[in-house]
Structure 1
Amino acid sequence: MIFKLNVSSFRNQYESPEGRRLCVFTAPVSEIPKEWEDWRDVNVRDTKRRSDVFNAIVDTLENDPEEMVFRNLGITIVSPRVEFDNKTNVVTVEFSDKTRHGIANGGHTFSAIQHALLKGPVNAQVKVECIVGEIDPKWLVDIVDGRNRSRAVQTESLENLAQSYDSIKNVLTSPLYKDRIAYSEFELDDRNKRKDISVREILSYIYCLDDFDKNTHPIEAYSSKGAVVDYYAAEDKSGKKRHTYVLEKASKILPEILELRDVIYRDLPRAYNVAGGSFGKLTSMGVMIHENNPRPLKFIKGDTIFAYPDAFVYPILAAFRQYIDHRSWSWGKENPLEIWENKKIDVASAMKDAVGTFSGNPNKMGKAAVTWRMCYDAL
């Protein structure tokens, strides 16, 4: 079978005396053929597609697509023939034997790309490494095994093993989401499906509301959830593990934090419109409308016709940290939902200004300190 891909770059890296060749190209994720799904047999270890790894890649594709090519190792394929036309920037890839050709590594990446594209266009690039030539089956096994062993155990898996997240597990007991949260890699639910909420996401919401002053914004909650996991796994300057005094205290109000997150997500589109904007027209900012197929909210009952990037939500949620007493991790005199109800139009107006500044680039908006400061001041 022949596949033709429009690529952004192509490079031959090495050719062995026996004629085996190593080359690499980058291409828009939309160029990766969905038919490659049928060419995964060579990766005998690629069985854990529904995992936290998958979730993390999808998160990058949806919320930080420009970083995809830098963060992700890409896809490795084995092919008898790969050719590049430098006049048209088209790469031709041939697969002919499913026992020898196809995706040797990067199955999570391939699946995440196809999953993300089902929701709409994704402005991301992916690297594809090509091992080209006549490949002996025994040598192929060594390639697949070696490349699949290169991945380290994620921090959250080790922290879960160390029972660092027990205080979180003890409070997140709602039947709406209890069995959907993965506290380590490769967690499946009772139906053998991937759990759709990662502990990384839960920790990022706590980080949003941690003890940062008005001039120090917890932008990593949006931009680098892996860094947030490492932050709570590490020791502070006094030698205390942060999970022992932050996560345990924060867990007391964690269900309320998750509820607040969903209420913000549900209410923001209408508040944005009341503030003089037109939320449904922000397609260049990743906003999509599903009028005939509303999407359920993550942590509370109800649904929404809107789907939009986390860049809108994190700066608003983080603004609520000013209403928390961090000595006890408790809310002040005012209920956060009442604060939101009273202030949401003002906050939406601030977000409208941020959209005007970063039109067409939600990722930049989500990483910009000015966005977080505007939301903080509006609240």
Structure 2
Amino acid sequence: MAAKAYRFEVAEARSFKHPYFPDIQKFTFLVPASKFPKNLPQKANLREATGMKRAVYTDVLESLRGNNALPGTFDLLNLGVTVIAESVEAVDKRIFDVLIDDEYGIANGGHTANLIWSCQEDGTIAEGQHVEVRIITGVDGPDAHTMRVDIARAQNTGIAVRPESIYELDGAFQGIKNAISKYPWSGSVAYKESDDEDLDVREIIALMELMNIFDFPNRKGKYPISSYEKWSTPLKKFGEDFSQYRDAPELRKYHKLEGLVPDILALYDIIRREFIKFRSEALGNKGAKPAYIERTSKPDGFSFPYAGFDNHPERLTKGAAYPILGAFRNYVKENSESGLAEWDGGFEHVKKVWRQVAPDIFWETHATVKEIGPAPNVLGKNRNHWAGLYKTVENFHLREQLERLQSGARDGE
């Protein structure tokens, strides 16, 4: 982290100390919009300045230009900008240097700031326009980061901020980032709502939930169907787990699962791509493809980056794939020494198991479709289907364990 001083030329300035936190000071600056300092850090802003064509932001822009409001009224019509800073130093009566850490900065009002900077560039700010800037300093000490996150969260109440944006600022996803960092696709994950990437971190957490042996112990008849039904459910659990054990990651359930993330994503790709092949081997190419297999007309087809497969025009839908992937929770166990989740027999063995049980999994899916229909959303939410697939893999796993015991007994004779 690094801090840099930004100069504010103000028309008016006020400040006061916080009545409860004596080190915290709040400043209010009325800044001529044309002199609002450029390129302030925005990492504390939970909602990045995207979607600038929304009507609400178009209205702000036209107000700044004086086209839909009287010139000089911008600060009366706009909520302004809130900044988390390290310090404020008075250079003159109307000139202040504000020291801002590049990991924080603007906590709210990023869209306003970006619109002002844009109009500064093209010289379209109407005469007399000012922006109100609120600066908070002195948020230090052992709880500084938590308080800064809370400030940013509370400041963003106009349009609801999605939880993953808050968790990203709070550092909750660092374990996932570490687990996938060596993979070429690691940069394609969207960690907050304004990220424009292919893989949503909410889906990563939903897929982790499928292997969550801590909340859904094997052989207990419980299935993480909420992973498919509502991504917000496992995301909320993930966030609560992080908050409860912020300083003790070894106690977090999801920390124990993070090391499996690359393998889980790879197995997800394998199932979605190879299920098509096993279906064709079982039924041939007779009749139309069912609704649980999706097709694309895009020339590049679907990609399977996590398994390293070539693109293909067909894949299994999420509604059909989630219960299948969830059945492989049978092969997840807790390492007795590290406490981390691992694959029973290693991931290469799990991939072999998939290819051995895939024909049975297809016929199980086929039977369910005959009974309840091929709609992927119905498959993804049907508890009996989850249970049937789980039992298929469970039986195979139990046979393996029995064979190992029998083999060990023979070797010991």
What's the TM-score once normalised by structure 2's chain length? 0.51
- Report whether the alignment pairs 1:263 with 2:296: no
1:290 Cα offset (Å): 4.6
Is 1:45 the counterpart of 2:52? The answer is: no
Instruction: String of CA shifts for 1:113-138, please: whole Å, max 9, x gaps.
Output: xxxxxxxxxxxxxxxxxxxxxxxxxx
Q: Is the 8 A contact 2:241 2:253 kept in 1?
A: no
- CA 266–42 in structure 1, closer or farther in 2 if over 3 Å, else same: closer
Tell me the CA shift for residue 175 of structure 1: 4.7
SS of the equivalent of 1:303 reads strand
SS in 2 for 1:281: coil
Q: What are the residue-to-residue correspondences of 1:132-147 with 2, within 5 Å? A: none
Aligned match of 1:158: 166
- Change in 2 beyond 3 A, CA 1:291/1:274: farther
Q: Which amino acid aligns with 1:206?
A: M
User: Residue 309 in 1 paired to residue 317 in 2?
Assistant: yes
Q: How far off is 1:336 after superposition?
A: 1.1
Superposition map of 1:288-299 within 5 A: 288=295, 290=297, 293-299=300-306
Would the alpha carbon gap of residues 279 and 210 (structure 1) be closer, same or farther in structure 2, given more than 3 Å must change? farther
Q: Does 1:331 align with 2:337?
A: no
The residue number in structure 1 matching 2:181 is 173
Paired-residue identity, %: 22
Q: CA deviation at 1:315?
A: 0.5
The match for 2:365 among 316, 330, 351 is: 351
Any residues of structure 2 matched to 1:1-379 within 5 Å, and which? Answer: 43-45=55-57, 150-187=158-195, 194-211=196-213, 212=216, 213-214=218-219, 215-235=221-241, 240=245, 245-276=252-283, 281-285=288-292, 287-288=294-295, 290=297, 293-301=300-308, 302-326=310-334, 327-333=339-345, 335-379=349-393
Q: Distance in 1 between matches of 2:198 and 2:329?
A: 26
Spell out, residue by residue over 1:288-313, the C-alpha distance to the aligned partner (whole angstroms, 9 max, x if none).
Answer: 25596432114232222204420111
Q: Give the whole-Å Cα distance in 2 for the aligned partners of 1:308 and 1:206.
A: 19
Inter-partner Cα distance in structure 2 for 1:365 and 1:289? 21
Cα deviation digits, residues 228-257 of structure 1 (max 9, x gap)? 100111249xx6569752222212222111
Q: CA deviation at 1:161?
A: 1.5
Contact 1:315–1:371 at 8 Å: present in 2 too?
Answer: yes
Aligned amino acid, residue 268 of structure 2: R
* Bigger Rg, which one: 2
Partner SS, residue 278 of structure 2:
helix
Given that 2:273 and 2:316 are in contact with CA atoms closer than 8 Å, whether structure 1 keeps it comes out as: no
C-alpha deviations, 1:252-300, integer Å up to 9, x for none?
Answer: 2221111111111110111122233759823444632559643211423
Shift of 1:325: 0.8
Query: How many residues are treated as equivalent by the alignment?
Result: 234
Question: Deviating runs (4+, > 4 A) in structure 1?
Answer: 239-244, 277-280, 289-293
Whether contact under 8 Å (1:222, 1:366) holds in the other structure is yes
**Using the alignment, how far apart are the partners of 1:279 and 1:359 within structure 2?**
18
| CA 267–183 in structure 1, closer or farther in 2 if over 3 Å, else same | same
Q: In the aligned structure 2, how far is the partner of 1:156 from the partner of 1:309?
A: 24
- 1:22: which partner in 2? none
Give the drift of 1:160.
Answer: 1.5
Q: Which moved more, 1:291-300 or 1:211-220?
A: 291-300
Q: Secondary structure in 1 aligned to 2:192? A: coil
Cα distance, 1:180 vs structure 2:
0.9
Relative to structure 1, is the Cα distance of residues 360 and 255 closer, same or farther in structure 2, using a 3 angstrom cutoff?
Answer: closer
Higher relative contact order, structure no. (Cα contacts within 8 Å, ≥ 6 residues apart): 1
Q: Deviations over 1:162-194 (max 9, x none)?
A: 21111110121245421110111202xxxxxx1
Q: Is the 8 A contact 2:179 2:259 kept in 1?
A: yes
Measured in 2, the distance between the counterparts of 1:200 and 1:371 equals 24
User: 1:265 and 1:280 mapped to 2: Cα distance?
Assistant: 20
Q: State the 1:150 CA deviation.
A: 4.3
8 Å contact from structure 2 (residues 275, 362) kept in 1: yes
> Any conservation in 2 of the 1:207–1:228 contact (CA below 8 Å)?
yes
Q: Is the 8 A contact 2:266 2:307 kept in 1?
A: yes
Q: Secondary structure at the match of 2:238?
A: helix
Change over 3 Å in CA distance of 1:360–1:248 after alignment to 2: closer
C-alpha distance 158-281 of structure 1, shift in aligned 2 (>3 A): same
TM-score (norm 1): 0.55
Deviates more, 1:241-250 or 1:314-323: 241-250
The one-character-per-residue Cα deviations of 1:42-61 (angstroms, maximum 9, x if unpaired) are: 714389xxxxxxxxxxxxxx
